[in-house]
A = this chain, B = another copy of it.
């Protein structure tokens, strides 16, 4: 009998916040009327898995509180122990974009968390890296074939001579030519490539492979002297030769680097979720939120993202802004995305789907809360536009699409060392330039994918661990991975996805 089956026998619910007056049923298949919980609560109805049960008697129009926030109002009185069906919940009227409360939370200062360090690589510009990688930037997709061929040979013939270097990564993408380079939104893919070229895990050894007649000039990437232009070479073999030579020069330098003790404050951690299920918002994301608070308390930079997943909870984000300017910047990014979607003639994608409702999410506010919870409870100290570099400490909102690959690429551009990724249904997604820690929302996923899941938050649902327990486990695992003492599964297997640039401008 597997662990997940065994715990299924005990009736369990999850209450996320002390203020919550509802909780979520954990057991697969749901729980029948009359079920008695250890706390004394008895179910008045059958309640499906992932759906809400009333923890107190709710009067008509009483606030229904989940994640410590109002997710709606009782349409009629709801007795303690009843199933809170979607039809019993009246949605809160979302405040208008220009009437949102800015920086209104009088959040107490968090206790600083001192003395935590990791073993990283100090860069000349003062930043630290957690990997020692040669990243080879491309100014246009034309060069992909030649570069992939060259990188394969570099890895086979040269890299083994430089054992302190972890990898050689071709930063291939589909931008650079055949694109509307003067379109207003072209700035997004361009700065993304620029910022990834100087990623802290690349140790300051920039190298660019370009063609020569592309629209995106290597000069625009700010690394012209480290550029090889294929149109200047006398054929394919000379192209490969010069790329291999330039790479070896840089590998020699990178190989000299040694890990040194760095404060956790030097870390830039990205957060996202993908392949989510009903438990992502109550296990993995809250544990990530707890770890995010620990990181922020230790002085690190933590980014949460995925505009379309948090958009409908914007009124819960703006009060957390550290000041009004940050609050306005959050709103501006949300508005930009609304316009972007409207041009493509699509509805707000964050609207709940029939699948969401079947899974127990009453409305878009509740859905967004499950995603926002991974941002923890600290103030939002800054906003990073898509493709921009993160230049502040603390919790930042990095405005990106929710697409795992696009979000990953943009968080890399922001300077992310390592990504923490919550998943319910599972995905083997990974990045070449930064480790991705997979946090499972259910123990069943860990059991199924024992060679892909790094941290299991499913134990929160079964009461075997608390949010704090898993949050601390994750915090320590982040430090171990950053220090090279532990590897994520996808690092062990050496698998990754390609970069996926966000280009809201047309191709030509």
Contact = CB atoms under 8 A, between A and B. Distances in A.
A401 interface: yes
A505 interface: yes
A145 B495 CA distance: 5
Interface in A452-508: 452, 489-490, 493-498, 500, 502, 504-508
Given A184-B345, A231-B426, A401-B508, A451 B494 contact: no
A293 interface: no
Contacts of A8: none
A404 B142 contact: yes
A356 B363 CA distance: 55
Given A235-B449, A428-B230, A450-B235, A343 B346 contact: no
**A340, A343, A490: which has the most chain B beta carbons within 10 Å?**
A343
A430 B144 CA distance: 9
A124 interface: no
B141 A425 contact: no
B178 A406 contact: yes
B507 A401 contact: yes
11 contacts: A141-B429, A141-B498, A145-B490, A145-B497, A148-B495, A174-B500, A183-B346, A234-B448, A234-B449, A344-B505, A502-B507
A426 B426 CA distance: 43
A411 to B, nearest CB: 14
The size class of the interface chain A forms with chain B is: 35 or more
A449 B403 contact: no
A500 B141 contact: yes
Main secondary structure of the interface of A (DSSP, over half): loop
Nearest to A407: B178
A182 interface: yes
Interface string A7-41: 00000000000000000000000000000000000
A341 B448 contact: no
Contacts of A508: 308, 341, 346, 349, 401-403
A94 interface: no
A172 interface: yes
Nearest to A430: B145
Contacts of A496: 144-145
A173 to B, nearest CB: 9
Nearest to A343: B343
Given A149-B495, A180-B349, A213-B275, A344 B185 contact: yes
A425 B402 CA distance: 39
B505 A346 contact: yes
Interface in A155-193: 172, 174, 177-180, 182-185
Interface of A: 141-146, 148-149, 172, 174, 177-180, 182-185, 211-213, 230-231, 234-237, 239, 274-275, 308, 340-341, 343-346, 349, 401-407, 425-430, 448-452, 489-490, 493-498, 500, 502, 504-508
A341 B180 contact: yes
Given A235-B450, A343-B343, A405 B178 contact: yes
A148 to B, nearest CB: 7
Contacts of A141: 404-405, 429, 497-498, 500
Which 7 A-B pairs give the minimum distances between C-beta atoms? A178-B403, A145-B495, A344-B506, A180-B346, A349-B508, A235-B451, A174-B500
A508 B309 CA distance: 9
B490 A449 contact: no
**A184, A349, A494: which has the most chain B beta carbons within 10 Å?**
A349
A351 to B, nearest CB: 11
A146 B428 contact: yes
A235 B490 CA distance: 12
**A145, A308, A349: which has the most chain B beta carbons within 10 Å?**
A145
A402 B506 CA distance: 12
A183 B340 CA distance: 12
A179 B344 CA distance: 11
B494 A149 contact: yes
A284 to B, nearest CB: 15
B428 A239 contact: yes
A84 B343 CA distance: 44
